[in-house]
Amino acid sequence: MSDALVAIAPLFVPADRPERFQKADRSGADAIIIDLEDAVAPAGKDAARANLAGALALQNPTFVRVNSEDSVWFDADLSTMKELGLRRICLPKAESAATLDRIGQVLGEDVEILALIETARGLESAATLAGHARVVRLAFGPADFALDLGVPASDAFRAHALMRLAVASRAAGKALPLDGPSFEVSDLSSLASECQQAIGHGAGGKLCIHPSQTASVTGAFQPSEEQLAWAQRVVDSSQDGAARLVDGKMIDAPIIAQARALLLRGRQQPNKGV
């Protein structure tokens, strides 16, 4: 999948709240993730699964976060997706290529998998997961990751994990990973800070858990007017590819390539996928 066709602000919506599906679709998110896992209590799993047909009416690319492979609901989740013809799946606690192959055997070779890295084993397997043909992107789950390690959630661990996922993703020719969501739903300044940190650590977008977050995340990950103006000056002054000074700084071939990539990001349109 081309980097020019990736989502910045996918939005989770609980599978047991079908009345929110359309609202999420109109929220400004560029992908929707209908959540059968964390957002749904065990007693409500079967009823929530029955709502998946509502995904077929959504305009945005729509993924289904199924329950983890070691749960009692995993097989039923896959079976319902197969019956409905749903081919985009968000896999929690992704750890092995065998699980990805199993999903492909049920949902078909054209399945698109958003692999959530939420465990130490998942992080150690990031290169294998990113390189799998059915994986379109990696994403980070900080809460479960901290739980798996048995340590408090911290900026240091988040940075470490994101940077490793970024390297694995680019080495595999995939889009940069999605950062985990901000749980400070009403604090947009905190969200903005998290986005800037995530960008610095190699993230290409950020998962959202509330519609109010999508605009802020999209804005944070899009190039600013100042950045685009700089990139245009670099490209305009470097048509021959030779190194020269721009704004008092030496510009060479890698910087020119970065400027062109920045201009490409600025021309991206949302609602194209993950």
3-state secondary structure of 213: helix
Strands 32-35 and 11-14: what pairing?
parallel
Strands 178-179 and 205-206: what pairing?
parallel
Per-residue pLDDT of the chain (274 residues; tens, 9 = 90+): 433 347 999 999 999 999 999 999 999 999 999 999 999 999 999 999 999 999 999 999 999 999 999 999 999 999 999 999 999 999 999 999 999 999 999 999 999 999 999 999 999 999 999 999 999 999 999 999 999 999 998 899 999 999 999 999 999 999 999 999 999 888 889 999 999 999 999 999 999 999 999 999 999 988 777 777 877 887 877 766 666 677 777 777 777 777 776 676 665 544 445 6
- CA separation (Å) from 252 to 7, 57, 256, 259? 30, 48, 6, 11
CA quadruple 19, 20, 23, 25: dihedral, nearest 10: -110
User: Whole-angstrom Cα distance, residue 173 to residue 163?
Assistant: 15
Q: Other C-beta atoms within 10 Å of 241: how many?
A: 9
Q: Are 16 and 39 in contact (CB under 8 A)?
A: yes
Q: How much is the pLDDT for 118?
A: 98
Query: Angle of helix 225-237 relative to helix 253-266, nearest 10 degrees?
Result: 130
Amino acid at the residue 137: R
Q: Are 265 and 223 in contact (CB under 8 A)?
A: yes
Ordered domains of the chain (ranges, CATH): 3-222 (3.20.20.60), 226-265 (no CATH)
Going by C-beta distance under 8 Å and a sequence separation of 6 or more, which residues neighbour residue 233?
246, 247
Q: How much is the pLDDT for 267?
A: 59
- Quick one: which of 120, 81, 73, 137 has its CA closest to 104? 81
> Can you tell me which residue has the tokens 């999420």?
24
Beta-bridge partner residues of 63:
33
